[in-house]
Structure 1
């Protein structure tokens, strides 16, 4: 994080703006809107800028900048096209420890002005740290389209009743649960419908009745194969609602970071033959936290119900009568194959696909090999890196052609993705020369050859998700 985002109260605080052109006018509008006491200095000042400053009770100085103008100033913005002057202003502000923003020159800044979505009193700021203002503005436009103007009125309603809620619910967790229910329920819908008075009456009744739901609940969330952009909207919404997040090795750190900052994060490990927390203990943890009245997110790589042991977890939750939700995720087979440019089915090569675990509970490979050797079937092996020699050997022994193509995908959909392609007969030797790192996914079948045929795939860098 290059800059710590802060929201600053500028009401009646003296702020100096150096510059008198269009850029300075945009900055002056922001400062005046925030209630700043504006001091403006420039030789040439646009008439509308001068009028804005005067109407806001500010001061216009037509002439040269001087360091004496920094006396008692809270914030400085340099918005000129004079590089030497901008550097002088920046140096003087740094010497006096006055926050300074130099437009389009982040190296001279101690503060950055973000792109703003104004739903007052709800304010959302987007910044690239000065690296790409255009990208920040693009992100602002996307957010503006998805955040109704009525959110500002909703925030005001919450502010009007905040003290009453605090007095009614002494426990901070009870207050949070109350507000979560309020902001996602019929009271909020009344505000969105323009019926603010009705919403206020409903909120007053809800506070009086202490209408909160502090019961525990568990969310089994499929985090996908690694790329955070593959998370579903529902997965993200429930993750950000959780008080406790249990996650394992297959969940990307960037996805874990999407949870609430105040949520407890519990690492439960689970590498091959090295479980930080055994599965049965994970099941008990889910029950324990839920019975404490907490919302619990169980983040699982891929999809919870495809080799994710989600079934075992919900069995225990159901037995303990704990409410739960299961959020499907993009399974590794789909995500990794797509990012590697390998279609799992194809009219000319494979009319079916089969998902197989590379090791069973006893770590053996006691698989129905005779069912996995059909030439028009794609077979995907999860967790099969250690057992790869046996996989290749058994498939050939049971009738699959030794020249059948096979792909091993390392850390699919992430920046560390690698794809190694060989045949059943040569893959073990190939990996001995070019080792890969877990987690991996193995794809066996004629569809693997399509990766080589789609030459444009690598040229367009689709393996990194650039579709």
Structure 2
């Protein structure tokens, strides 16, 4: 991020604009919405600039911008549409210690002005660092359509009511009051005018004051395989409300970014055969924060019900008498099999599929290898990187064909995902040679669809020869 977004206080401050044509007028349409003093320098001002000066909305100075003119200004905008003149304006601004922006010239600008959705006092700023202005305008248009026109009134009345809302304690209780106002009651009565909204605010405050302290709760949430777009709506809402997020090592950073900014973020990562947070410690953290009255989100990669030690955490939560809910996520097997264009089950091939783990706390896991070794069986093996040679040996020992297709998917659904097609007979050394760094899932009995087609094509060619 080259440009850090901020909202700058400009009330009663001077903003200088240099230019007298259409570019200057376009910039003024935004600047005149502020409470700043706008000073415009133009040698040949457009008639609309003269009119704005007469109306007292700007101060028009009919001469060239020169050294000393930026002194005391908050910002300088150059809009002459002449690169040499604009560069001189920037130099003058810098000489007075003022940051400058050149319209449509990112290289000369110290800052950029984003696309803005105005629901005063609610303002949404959209920036693309000059990379995609068309995209910024499209996002702006979408938000303009989504945000109701009376949102500004709700925010303005809410701001005036903030001192009264201080009767509620800081934290979740006060947050719940404002959420109730902005998303439930307020929008329903806004059409009836400001008096109706003010009456609603008073009634809501009384209701929340009388409701007493709310107990903490826990949401056991599946973060999915890593792609933020595969996160469920329910999981997204839980992250919006969380006071505390206790997350696993494999949860993607992009998903952690979706948590409420004020939430306490706790890394409770586990790593196979490496440093880990003990499960008892995780249980204790969940219970401690929930008993403090917090909304806790226990965020697990994939689906919490699949190899997620969910039962251990539920038992600790229930023993403490804490309310909880399970929010399922897309498990890695579902995301990975979609990525290779296959189905976990197929009519006349396999009527069942096994989800296996390569190891547990005691070491490598034993399974029903004899049944799995039969033709047509399919299994998704989680946490199988270190267990690959063990799995390979057990299956071959029980009669599985060395030619059985095997697919390894690293970082399923993510931008850095890798798909490695091999066979059971070559599972090792393929797994070791691949040098996998991220989480991997291994499909026994499935090949990527494109790879399967390539193999068939090669076979047909060899047969014709």
1:159-178 aligned at under 5 Å gives the runs: 159-166=159-166, 168-171=167-170, 174-178=173-177
CA RMSD of aligned residues (A): 2.5
Cα offset, 1:356, TM superposition = 1.6
1:64-103 aligned at under 5 Å gives the runs: 64-103=64-103
2:269 matched to which residue of 1?
269
1:134 matched to which residue of 2?
134
Q: Is the 8 A contact 1:342 1:451 kept in 2?
A: no
Cα offset, 1:218, TM superposition = 1.0
Structure 1 residues 145 and 454: alpha-carbon distance in aligned structure 2, compared to 1, 3 A threshold: farther
What do the CA deviations read for 1:366-385 (whole angstroms, capped 9, x no partner)?
11223323433431111111
Structure 1 residues 172 and 409: alpha-carbon distance in aligned structure 2, compared to 1, 3 A threshold: closer
Cα offset, 1:345, TM superposition = 4.1
Structure 1 residues 81 and 337: alpha-carbon distance in aligned structure 2, compared to 1, 3 A threshold: farther
2:34 matched to which residue of 1?
34
Matched, 1:443 2:447: no
Identify which range, 409-418 or 291-300, moves more after superposition. 409-418
CA distance in 1, matches of 2:298, 2:411: 21
Q: How many residues align?
A: 452
Cα offset, 1:322, TM superposition = 1.3
Matched, 1:294 2:297: no
Cα offset, 1:331, TM superposition = 1.1
CA distance in 2, matches of 1:385, 1:103: 54
2:200 matched to which residue of 1?
202
Structure 1 residues 428 and 252: alpha-carbon distance in aligned structure 2, compared to 1, 3 A threshold: same
Q: Is the 8 A contact 2:353 2:377 kept in 1?
A: yes
Structure 1 residues 114 and 320: alpha-carbon distance in aligned structure 2, compared to 1, 3 A threshold: same
CA distance in 2, matches of 1:112, 1:75: 11
**Structure 1 alignment gaps of length 5 or more:** 456-467
TM-score (norm 2): 0.89
CA distance in 2, matches of 1:56, 1:392: 82
Cα offset, 1:170, TM superposition = 5.0
Structure 1 residues 293 and 182: alpha-carbon distance in aligned structure 2, compared to 1, 3 A threshold: farther
Structure 1 residues 26 and 344: alpha-carbon distance in aligned structure 2, compared to 1, 3 A threshold: farther
Cα offset, 1:348, TM superposition = 7.5
TM-score (norm 1): 0.88
What do the CA deviations read for 1:124-183 (whole angstroms, capped 9, x no partner)?
1111233332232233233333333333232123212100111x1354554334324444
Cα offset, 1:332, TM superposition = 0.9
**Structure 2 alignment gaps of length 5 or more:** 455-465
Q: Is the 8 A contact 1:240 1:260 kept in 2?
A: yes
Matched, 1:404 2:404: yes
Structure 1 residues 192 and 367: alpha-carbon distance in aligned structure 2, compared to 1, 3 A threshold: farther
Q: Is the 8 A contact 2:344 2:353 kept in 1?
A: yes
CA distance in 1, matches of 2:374, 2:146: 48
Cα offset, 1:214, TM superposition = 3.2
Secondary structure class of the residue paired with 2:60: strand
CA distance in 2, matches of 1:351, 1:61: 82
CA distance in 1, matches of 2:374, 2:51: 80
Matched, 1:179 2:178: yes
Identify which range, 278-287 or 392-401, moves more after superposition. 392-401
2:226 matched to which residue of 1?
226
Matched, 1:312 2:312: yes
- Over alpha carbons, which structure has the higher Rg? 2
Cα offset, 1:341, TM superposition = 4.1
